[in-house]
Amino acid sequence: MSSSPKQVVEKMFTAFANGDLDKFVETVSEDTIWIYHGTQIIPKGTFEKKEGVKAFFSNILNKTEITSFEPQQYIVEGNMVVILGQEHQKVKRSGRELKQKWVQIYTIENELITKMEEFATSEEVA
């Protein structure tokens, strides 16, 4: 049974929530590219191929504690999935807490994520 583009993204989000790097990477193509445009606090970056996505994922989990991660609205058009959401995280080293609102755009081909692009804004929580 094939998965819809939305189901592929939801599978990736589940792996992210569970901290399962292997399941997370299973959802992306060999030549995937992830573009994070950065925020006022978190720098931008581009991550290529499965190794780059592993680094993206590991960096988040090693440096922050995700308090909440909330995809709030899905917009699906063909093989593209746009998600509006928000998250709350705590930086492990400094103890700073950050809130982010974001838009993530996924392109799905052959039931794998070939591209992710994220636009976010962040603020420090007092």
Domain ranges of the chain: 5-125
Pick the CATH number of 5-125 from 3.40.50.620, 3.40.630.10, 3.10.450.50, 3.10.129.10: 3.10.450.50
Token pair of 61, please?
Answer: 């989990």
Which of the pair, 105 or 40, is modelled with greater confidence? 105
What is the DSSP secondary structure assignment for residue 43, as one 8-state letter? P
Give the DSSP letter string of 47-110: EEHHHHHHHHHHHHHHHEEEEEEEEEEEEEETTEEEEEEEEEEEETTT--EEEEEEEEEEEEET
The C-alpha atoms of residue 88 and residue 123 are separated, in whole angstroms, by: 10
What pLDDT, in 10s, does the model give residues 64-101? 888 999 999 999 999 999 999 999 999 888 888 999 99
Taking 70 as the threshold, does the pLDDT of residue 1 lie above it? no
